[in-house]
Chain A
Amino acid sequence: MTALITLTGVNKYYADYHALRDINLTINAGEFFSLLGPSGCGKTTLLRTIAGFEQVTDGVVMIGGADMAAVPANLRPTNMVFQSYAIFPHLSVAENVAFGLRKSKDIDKQTKAEMVEEALTMVGLAGYGKRAAHALSGGQRQRVALARALILKPKVLLLDEPLSALDKKMREQMQVELIRLQRQVGITFILVTHDQEEALVMSDRIAVMFEGEIGQLADPETLYRRPNSRRVASFIGKMNFLEAEVNAVSDVIAIDVEGLGPLQVSLEQAPEPVKQGPAVVGIRPETLGILFEGETTDRKLIDGVVDEVVYYGDMTYYDIRIKGISQAINIAMKNLIGRPVLEVGEAAQVIWDERALVVLN
């Protein structure tokens, strides 16, 4: 893996507002990288900094080993798919796609036309070249925006919330297509999104951002299973939090968790080093279970009462009150054959396992 983009000590201020706080980041060649975070966390600012639309207040942005400080957006080896797609309304689809080829004087007209058709084919819009840009649907606009950027064979493709304007079905389809496209062209993709599921599905690595800082940078599985802080844990997926007290840290962690009692968990279950003293323990709803009649388990059980039921079709989410735990615990259950949907007030036996716990500071 070779580093393609390196950000060192990047800071960005808008007047008094500190939009990016000391960002250090390396993005590798050929990787699908995501910047994930809530609105206003600085993810788009960071992307625009790489594209050259924002100047850093402080710090260095390197792309392909070259300092980008004095390089304007139009000379950077990056291309962007804008959130609004920014399709030129006065040009046809083919003219939009060919827009960036004007400067390539050594390519003749015939070849350019072939390149355009090839790019349109790649995004599934073969034969759409003559259409007017305004006659396209949202999904088609996005494909044109992709073709327009990819035809220039950039080192980096920047995607600014490209799927947020599409409906759910279309979004899921485009996620798969983007992954396929990225593997096909081998270009580094940097995706900005606030949709954690989208980031998990598509990315090789994800940087989770909060208030201008990178909270955690990891691959999707690590991010989901071993979030390093409470805010990352609650931003990505659902997470139950339990108050706990770390008693001792040796080659295992001895911890006393509310409602569950004293336990021993492995050191890997604490993504950040923990010390003796108060801590928080996180546990995902799907790592817990409810013991239904006729089912057995060799894992630990604890008694509770159903507090809330949310039926999703394939899944049912239960909030269960457990003695000694201050907040109701959220549990996700697959609606397998023979499993009833419990009702509020019913007693339930909760299956749990300390291997699923994450210890957070």
Chain B
Amino acid sequence: MTGLAVTDLCKSYPAAGGGRREVLKGVSLRIDKGECVGLIGESGSGKSTLIRCALGLEKPDSGRVDYEGSFVHEATGPDLLLFRREVQIVFQDPFASLNPRMTVEELVGEGLLVHRIEPSRARRRACVAELLGRVGLEADAMHRYPRAFSGGQRQRIAIARALAVSPRILVCDEPVSALDVSVQAQVINLLADMRSALGLGILFVAHDIGVVRYLCDSVLVLAEGRVVEEGPTETVFGDPQHDYTRALMAAAPVPDPAEAKARRALRRQQREAARGSEP
């Protein structure tokens, strides 16, 4: 068995008015190396909790997370070290995901240092330069701090930092939704390139159907802590079966004025009909 597998994950938190709020109600998913899995979820769907549990940052109430056949939440020693090296994350907000007190060289080289991949400072610097080149940044970027870079550049730095330890699985938590529209495609394409060049498995978490449809082979739709629909991307989005998926598809903006205006007119008719039917 290879890759990262989440099985029947449940997680609840104490609710404000007493009792517990179930955030995940038995979620299973699996990412193999070289595979790109999309996870669609709106705010409150439980996707953040799922990511935190899958990365071993939080313990689920029940269910399990396996990596390479070992149970992540009980892993110690070499197994844990392997997991901490081979599964990496890229966050949504590149302004918050890079330590503002570290230079790009320290940020990108940190994994090489802590996993003792490249203990020599000079060799590490050469590695960092190569990684920066791979994500499309100049090598002299390494002497500067994150604040000197634009959002898109910071996200490249975050990707270089994750790639430094040669991960097998990359979890991407809304990696482009905080970026300028004209920059998003650069980062999406970079992830696609890295996946094919390095055989990376990607769990791509997003609320934007367009991005997932472009990038992912298969997709899961998460709603209120449950996977309501899953399958190959084109099957799910080409012919959505669950009402929730259909509603998401219908709400996604269409960059075609004629089509978008026809849909708008239809919705307006439906609203008026609904208004007319009320007493």
A and B physically associate: no
Residues of A within 8 A of B (CB): none
Residues of B within 8 A of A (CB): none
